[in-house]
Amino acid sequence: MVAKITTGKDVYGALAYNQQKVDRGKGKVLLTHILREPSDGQFDVTTTAEDLLRWMPSHYRTEKPVVHISLNPDPEDRLTAEQLTEIAEKYMERMGWGEQPYIVFEHTDIDRRHIHIVSVQVGQDGRKVKDGKRNERSVAVTEELEREYGLHPAKERKRTEDWRLTAVDCTKGDLKRQIGAVVKPAAAMYRFQTLGEFRALLSFYNIGIEEVRGERASIRSWTKTGTRRLPRRSNPLCSGKRSDSMNWSATWNAAASGSSGTILARDCADLSMKPCERRQPNMPCAIACAKSVSTSTCAATIRGASWA
């Protein structure tokens, strides 16, 4: 049995994904834990999401509080709904999420029955449930459950299962899932030198790929006004601090062949020579920067500027 754990922020999205399977007759709710069950048995995404969110305080620091888990037995494992429910409960308990609210869905949309669990990993005190070495513990828990229920070991079957790629069939729908089921294992198992090699492989599974390159547009003119910080100096004589700033204002046009404009020399942000670097030998940086600098002409191009 393979367990896949994803975390996120959107509890509505995780519940809606599973509810869509139920609405299409490809799934059902097996179990709820610390969640309200509707009297008619018809679960509502909004109500269930509100129950999960209500469990957590209004303020918490966990960036991704939502946990979405899928437990995938081998296709040859024949498990009843009661057994799947027990496996879900034991998995959540042994992973440390047994005291959290959660809902368990069974999916039957593919050739193997599997379950999805949606929960939150933030307690009522606002603290995240401890999940150190989560993936390693998950593997250990699934191996325990395999032995308890006599399931096929995932380690022996995973490689064989990855190699069983199925060609995409647009008449079956859910193209995103079909393409992902081919591209992800193919990229993991094969090594490609060129995009053409990858394209050739995917063509066997009715998938085509094309390389798209974007082009960056050239900036022809711009205007800037504001305050900029003095750059960090490596010269030991420079006493200017990085926190010091100077007001600057520059407006000029540039073309590929170059053009000219008049700006304050000390404020020309594209000049390679700064006022502090044009000082006399041994002149303190602070004095050089404080000296008044007259206007001059910059010859400007797209790549930079220099003194005219």
Distance between CA 89 and CA 68 in Å, rounded? 15
Calpha distance 284→276 (Å, rounded): 9
Q: Which two tokens stand for residue 172?
A: 């079956």
Write phi, then psi, for 94 (nearest 5 degrees): -75, -20
User: What residue type is assigned to position 153 of the chain?
Assistant: P
What would the DSSP string read from start to end of 173-216? Answer: --HHHHHHHHHHHHHHH---SSHHHHHHHHHTTT---------P
Asked if 77 contacts 53 with a C-beta cutoff of 8 angstroms, the reply is: no
Burial of 173 (0-12, 13-18, 19+ CB in 10 A): exposed
Q: Are 271 and 305 a contacting pair, CB within 8 Å? A: yes
Residue 141's pLDDT is 96
pLDDT at 156: 61
pLDDT for residue 243: 37
Which residue bears the tokens 């400007």? 300
Provide the pLDDT for residue 112.
Answer: 80
Q: How many CB atoms lie within 10 A of CB 227?
A: 8
Question: Per the structure block, which two tokens stand in for 301?
Answer: 């191009």
Are the C-beta atoms of 129 and 97 separated by less than 8 Å? yes
Cα of 251 vs its chain's centroid, Å? 39
Instruction: State residue 198's pLDDT score.
Output: 84
Q: What is the pLDDT of residue 163?
A: 58
pTM of the model: 0.56
- pLDDT at 224 (0 to 100): 41
Reference 264, options 288, 280, 282, 246; nearest CA is 246
| SS3 category, 50 | helix
pLDDT of residue 216: 54
- For each of the domains in the chain, give its residue range(s) and CATH number, in order of start: 2-155 (3.30.930.30), 165-210 (no CATH), 221-307 (no CATH)
Whether the CB-CB separation of 250 and 269 falls below 8 Å is answered with: yes
- Ordered mean pLDDT values, 10 residues apiece, the chain (308 residues): 92 94 93 91 92 93 94 91 96 96 93 92 94 92 95 70 74 86 81 80 85 58 42 42 38 35 35 42 45 36 33
What pLDDT was estimated at residue 217?
47
pLDDT of 244 reads: 39
